[in-house]
Amino acid sequence: MNDQRPAHIDSYYAATANAHPVHPCLEGEQCAEVAVIGGGLAGLSAALNLAERGHSVILLEGARVGWGASGRSGGQILTGYACDMRKLEGYLGLADAQKLFALSREAMGIVRQRVLRHGMDCELQMGYVHAAIKPRHLQELEEYREHLERHYGYGGQELWDRERLREVVDSPRYRGGLWDPHSGHLHPLNYTLGLAEAAARAGVRIYENSRVLRLERGAAPVLHTAAGRVRCQTVVVCGNAYIDGLVPELWRRIMPVGTYIAATEPLGEARAASLIRNNAAVCDTNFVLDYFRLSADHRLLFGGRVSYSTFDPPRLKESLRRRMLAVYPQLADVRMDWCWGGFVDITMNRAPHFGRLDGNLYFAQGFSGHGMALTGLAGQLIAEAVHGDASRLDLFAKIPHRPFPGGRWLRTPALVLAMAWFRLRDLL
């Protein structure tokens, strides 16, 4: 067994991860009906769904299961998509947009069902607040709440004014917020590890430290790693931000973006509860946003900052602490115990990019920050398509996705310039 395999990054999630096995490195030649690339939530979900339908499945992960965004994220599970539903209406019309929104609600149900069915210890908690920083943000939230209720039947959300929100989120920063009881949060790494355990029990052969270096496409695909290869009939690509150039036509349509989170020292049950009295996840309305929630051991997990340049921002822990104190000045005496980050993939329009190439290569990418729930749906839709019914996957394939401009060398500088405008807009 290779003892040089990378560990999960040093984070609060890794420090509180459930016990989990080390899967072997692929050596020699193996065969399966389906080969899945990527051991995050999307790949594991596809593998589990396919195995449950009777397919033989091999999953290849370049590092450790949950090593990428799936094990590092803010842990928010959200209804809807990173883009506004009105954008999807413009692309597809209201009827298809309504189908997509219903699928996002199904995605939330998939998470809850899997946690219950497989007995996952991942701290699932429902409740989410979208907090408004400026008066126009609050008006925009009310307009969107009304739009979702009228056109999508999405009830139960409540618009809270400053006083009502302050009763729940004890911060002077916000003008109000939109309460959503149907979204929530969980421990993302433990959820990912639980999904891997369920996939292995269903018969999926998982190989870690087995990065796919080359993919031979065609009627009988072959996946090559440093120490072995897999022959299969169908390939499912779920590399997301770490796909690099393996499938060029997919890689050109996503961009890796660095996101960052810090965890405070334990605050004690009473002090932690005073910050978010209903234990919801909270996110603000800025384009470059802050998001935060409580952990099971009474820490504040606070995410913010992004990097579009592929370089980590300087003095990251201090920067996140300043952002946290802008929300919670009463935590001035609190230290940060962890600070970590990683890449998520975004699309140009922030809509998810699911589909099929070559007839036997399926993919799911571009979750744009909404992957905790949508990955489960993506895996289910891919399994349906491989099994013969692509109707629901093809609905997502209707969404147009343009490559990022600038080619291999200029697209990152172009995005950095564009994001500078959005940061300025947040200040206005």
Q: Please write down the HEC assignment for all residues of the chain.
A: CCCCCCCCCCCHHHHCCCCCCCCCCCCEEEECCEEEECCCHHHHHHHHHHHHCCCCEEEECCCCCCCCHHHCCCCEECCCCCCCHHHHHHHHCHHHHHHHHHHHHHHHHHHHHHHHHCCCCCCCEEEEEEEECCHHHHHHHHHHHHHHHHHHCCCCCEEEEHHHHHHHECCCCCCEEEEEEEEEECCHHHHHHHHHHHHHHCCCEEECCCCCCEEECCCCCEEECCCEEEECCEEEECCHHHCCCCCHHHHCCCEEEEEEEEEECCCCHHHHHHHECCCCEEEECCCCCCEEEECCCCCEEEEEEEECCCCCCCCHHHHHHHHHHHHCHHHCCCCEEEEEEEEEEECCCCCCEEEEECCCEEEEECCCCCHHHHHHHHHHHHHHHHCCCCHHHHHHHCCCCCCCCCHHHHHHHHHHHHHHHHHHHHHC
**% the chain with pLDDT above 90:** 86
pLDDT at 194: 98
Architecture of domain 12-72+189-253+349-407: 3-Layer(bba) Sandwich (3.50)
Residue 108, C-beta contacts closer than 8 angstroms, at least 6 positions apart: 77, 79, 182, 183, 373
Distance between CA 66 and CA 78 in Å, rounded? 19
Whether the model clears a pTM of 0.85, i.e. scores above it, the answer is yes
d(CA 171, CA 169): 6
Backbone φ/ψ region at 167: left (φ over 0), alpha (ψ -120 to 50), beta: alpha
pLDDT computed for residue 210 by the predictor: 97
Q: Quote the CA–CA distance of 76 and 293 in Å, as a whole number.
A: 9
pLDDT confidence bin for 4, thresholds 50/70/90: low
**Would you tell me the crossing angle of helices 135-152 and 85-92 to the nearest 10 degrees?**
50
> Phi-psi category of 359—alpha, beta or left, where left has phi over 0 and alpha has psi -120 to 50?
left
Look at residue 178 in the predicted model and tell me its pLDDT. Answer: 98
Q: Give pLDDT tens digits for 69-85.
A: 999 999 999 999 999 99
Give pLDDT tens digits for 179-197. Answer: 999 999 999 999 999 999 9
Domain map (residue ranges) of the chain: 12-72+189-253+349-407, 125-182+256-346
pLDDT digits (tens, 9 = 90+) for 286-327: 877 899 999 999 999 999 877 776 677 788 999 999 999 999
Give CA–CA dist 426/290, Å, rounded: 12
User: pLDDT tens digit string along 342-358?
Assistant: 899 999 999 999 999 99
CA-CA distance, 38 to 47, in Å (whole number)? 10
| Residue 6 or 306, more confident | 306
The band of 340, judged by pLDDT with boundaries at 50, 70 and 90, is: very high
Q: How many residues does the chain have?
A: 428
For the domain 125-182+256-346, what is the CATH superfamily, name and number? D-Amino Acid Oxidase, subunit A, domain 2 (3.30.9.10)
Residue 417 confidence (pLDDT): 45
